[in-house]
Amino acid sequence: MGLPEIAVIVALALVVFGPKKLPELGRNIGKTLKSLQKASSEFENELQKAITDSDDDDREKDADSNDHKDLP
């Protein structure tokens, strides 16, 4: 999104919400975006942890199956 598009959006917001509500609206949007970013980060961390745990389990299974192959 370029500068002209942002200017149009800000102008429309100013007309729709008025100059007194615009700062409050900006704060609310900022808080919402921060919350979404935090949730996204937490989801990514949990997903990475699940992948790592799954890889560890697979390695353990491979090690166990290799141990049993050596037995007579």
Q: What is the CATH number of the domain that holds 44?
A: 1.20.5
Domain that holds residue 46: 3-54
For 13, other C-beta atoms within 10 Å of its C-beta total 15
- pLDDT bucket at 66, cuts 50 / 70 / 90: low
Distance of CA 25 to the CA centre of its chain: 23
In angstroms, rounded to a whole number, what is the distance separating the alpha carbons of residues 67 and 60? 10
* pLDDT for residue 1: 79
pTM listed for this prediction: 0.56
Domain count, the chain: 1
Q: Where are the alpha helices (DSSP H) in the chain?
A: 3-69
Residue 25 in contact with residue 17, Cβ under 8 Å? Answer: yes
Mean pLDDT, residues 30-50 = 95
Q: Where is average pLDDT lowest: 9-23, 30-44, 56-70? A: 56-70
| Closest C-alpha to 26, from 17, 36, 35, 38 | 17
